[in-house]
Structure 1
Amino acid sequence: MAASKRKHASGQPCIIPGGFAVLSLKFSSDSAAQHTVYVKEHKVRAEKNSHRPLDRTLFVLNIPPYCSEAVITELFSQFGSVQSVELRDHPGSFQESGPKLSKLFRPAEKKGFKVGYIVFQKSSSVSSAKSHPADEPLVVCTEQRPVKTGVQKWIQQYTESFIQPDKLQQKVDSFMEGYDKRKREAEEKQKEEAEQEQEDEEGWVKVTKGHKGAKARPHSEAANKRTLQKEIRKKKRKELMNFYSWQQRNTQKEHIADLRKKFEEDKQKIALLRQQRKFRPY
């Protein structure tokens, strides 16, 4: 299918199939080359969280590698106050991976074009970004907002790769403090659950309903130990309740053993009489 030769009207937004609006980027004001990004209002019904509100989130495709989250924040602030910016390698749902880790504890990020989720303070900022004219490119690198590329960027990355020992120690200490805190909270929660499940004097176990959507947890070593202790207590109570019946069963066993012993002795006597040929049953 041949491309349309009709040019887009000057000063008007360019909308392509799929509902994406076209925005042009220029690295600097004197750059002749332009880069194209595609923006669209983020509307995913399956994603229900407060981090990406559907009415204030702008979905951006084809973000160049030299644009960091700080650069994107400054670049789109002209359409309104930016609340947060998230850059990812591929589009997808928001995933919380526990506490926010330092770059020292995260794997190296992939270099390449990315997708972004820009959350504005107001919903009108999304419409402003979508209605921006396609023939008015946004300038990435300015005097107020310099962006390093090429050799300068490599030198900066190499310099930042060296970490001062005192700063590293502070980050490790803060990480371990958070880890110890989460570990104590988990132990306290486990102790509370064990106390709730503990049997009373009559052997009743209190069962409580978990929160909605809770999944069954696999048996841990502590849970198996508690189950074993319950079985031992039940066995002891059963032995105490059947004390006299156990005595009766023991007496019956002893009586049966005596009868078997006498029967064997009688068999031996009969065999001895047969050998002596003195056995006359008739």
Structure 2
Amino acid sequence: MALSQKKHARGQLCIPGGFTVLSIQFSSDTVAQHKLYVKEHKVRAERSSHRPMDRTLFVLNIPPYCSEDVVKELFSQFGSVHSVELRDHPGSSQESGPKLSTFFKPLTKQGFKVGYIVFQNASGLSAAKSHPHNVPLVVCTEQRPVQTGVQKWIQKYTESFIQPDNLQQVIDAFMRDYDKRKEEEEERQKKEAEQQQEDEEGWVKVTRGSKGAKARPHSEKANQKTLQKEMRKKRKKELMNFYTWQHRNTQKEHIAELRKKFEEDKQRIALLRAQRKFRPY
């Protein structure tokens, strides 16, 4: 069943899902055209600053001969492009972990891509969406040549040779970044341990974390220590008051201790009163 299509007055071709059709052709000499499907990127679950909703264009069906640089040059005619990201499938904007160099990135699959194009201004997004579908964008020009076929294979083969000096610089930069992140993590853990350290009476200082994070009054170590202390108190209490005569003796000892403390307080009060007597000489 064919998808229903709508034509707008300005020459736009829209398809279901809110996508607009953009036509491209490899060069001005070719007759065949390729269709791109574009729409404004709107994902509520994604709160990343890398893809602002009012300036990001979501593109489907990007051909394999269009690299990120080629796509950036192609869409720059609509406005200044901030960044271009090509992926095999739609997904989150950034992976967790350090950014890898081109030497250590896994090989990408050769096929059609999806793209996220971030413009400097929202006007670039509107211009790309309103471009007429019957006016194709030319990929390969004299100012912007795009290699394909055997020439592209030769170029990739030449670029596959890694210069030792360049590789050493990349490794050194990666290790410096790794050491820096390691030191920051150790410093953060040290500060957290100091903030959540118990004082002499067993109290734990409650501190507020970063913005949006809930304060944690106890660390895992402090929780285990408190739990062990409570278990010891409970075990001691159960052993002391297990039998009736133990409970009775405990009460007698408690009463005797209170009486002893009462007598000591009486003596202390009498001594204080004696010291307050008036002595003129």
- Considering the TM-score relative to the shorter chain, is it more than 0.5? yes
1:48 aligned onto 2:47: yes
Where 1:190 maps in the other structure, the secondary structure is: helix
* Contact 1:38-1:61 at 8 Å conserved across structures: yes
Which residue number in structure 1 is paired with residue 27 of structure 2? 28
Residue type of the alignment partner of 1:14: L
Residues 126 and 190 of structure 1, relative CA distance in 2, 3 Å threshold: same
Q: CA deviation at 1:93?
A: 2.7
Paired residue type of 2:123: S
Aligned identity (percent) is 69
Q: For 1:3-42, list aligned pairs within 5 A.
A: 12-42=11-41
Which residues of 2 match residues 210-229 of structure 1 at below 5 A? 210-211=209-210, 212-213=212-213
Q: Give the total of aligned pairs.
A: 230
> Quick check: 1:25–1:34 contact (8 Å CA) kept in 2?
yes
Counterparts of 1:120 and 1:144 in 2: how far apart (Å)? 22
Could you tell me which residue of structure 2 aligns to residue 258 of structure 1? none
Return the index of the structure with the highest Cα Rg.
1
Give the Cα separation in 1 of the matches to 2:3 and 2:179. Answer: 61
In the alignment, the residues of structure 2 paired with residue 10 and residue 143 of structure 1 have an alpha-carbon distance, to the nearest angstrom, of 33
Query: What is the DSSP-based 3-state SS (H/G/I as helix, E as strand, rest coil) of the residue aligned with 1:101?
Result: coil
Distance in 2 of aligned mates of 1:226 and 1:181: 31
Q: Does 2:172 align with 1:173?
A: yes
Q: Helix, strand or coil: the match of 2:77?
A: helix
- Residue of structure 2 equivalent to 1:101: 100
**What is the one-letter code of the residue matched to 1:33?**
A
Distance 1:197 1:49 in 2: 31
Letter in 1 for 2:173: S
1:210 CA drift (Å): 3.3
Give 5+ residue unaligned stretches, structure 1: 236-282
Matched with 1:63 is 62
Whole-angstrom CA distance in 2 between matches of 1:108 and 1:43:
29
Distance in 2 separating the partners of 1:131 and 1:225? 61
Which residue of structure 2 lines up, in the alignment, with residue 79 of structure 1? 78
| 2:139 and 2:146 in contact (8 A); partners too | yes
Shift of 1:151: 1.0
Following TM superposition, by how much is the alpha carbon of 1:2 offset from its aligned partner in structure 2, in angstroms? Answer: 6.8
Q: Is the counterpart of residue 199 in structure 1 residue 198 in structure 2? A: yes
Asked whether the 8 Å contact 1:22–1:39 carries over to 2, the reply is: yes
**Higher mean C-alpha displacement, 65-74 vs 196-205:** 196-205
| Matched residue SS, 2:103 | helix
1:231 to partner: Cα distance: 7.0
- The aligned residue for residue 127 of structure 1 is 126
Residues 9, 39 of structure 1: alpha-carbon distance in 2 compared, 3 angstrom cutoff = closer
Q: What secondary structure sits across from 1:105 in the alignment?
A: coil
Name the CA distance, whole Å, in 2 between partners of 1:81 and 1:87.
Answer: 18
Mapped partners of 1:56, 1:98: distance in 2:
26
Paired letter, 1:23:
L
Indicate the SS of the match to 1:79.
coil
**What whole-Å deviation, never above 9, does each CA across 1:42-71 have from its counterpart, x for those lacking one?**
122222222111111111100001111110
Secondary structure in structure 2 of the residue aligned to 1:24: strand
**Is contact 1:10-1:133 (8 Å) kept?**
no
Structure 1 residue 190 and structure 2 residue 197: aligned?
no
- RMSD after superposition: 3.3
For structure 2, which runs of at least 5 residues remain unmatched after alignment? 233-281
Give the Cα–Cα distance (whole angstroms) in 1 for the partners of residues 109 and 214 of structure 2.
35
- What's the TM-score once normalised by structure 2's chain length? 0.72
Deviation at 1:208, TM superposition (A): 2.7
Whichever residue aligns with residue 187 of structure 1, its letter is: E
Question: Matched residues in 1 for 2:73 and 2:10: separation?
Answer: 23
| Closer/same/farther in 2, CA of residues 224 and 75 from structure 1, 3 Å limit | same
Where 1:118 maps in the other structure, the secondary structure is: strand
C-alpha distance in structure 2 between counterparts of 1:173 and 1:193, whole Å: 30
Counterpart CA distance in 2 for 1:198 and 1:94 is 38
CA contact (8 A) 1:11 1:136 kept: no
Structure with greater contact order relative to length (CA < 8 Å, sep ≥ 6)? 1
CA distance in 2, matches of 1:226, 1:56: 47
Deviations 1:86-116 (A, max 9, x none): 1111112323423322122221112110111
Q: Structure 1's 69 and 175: CA in aligned 2 closer, same or farther, altered over 3 A?
A: same
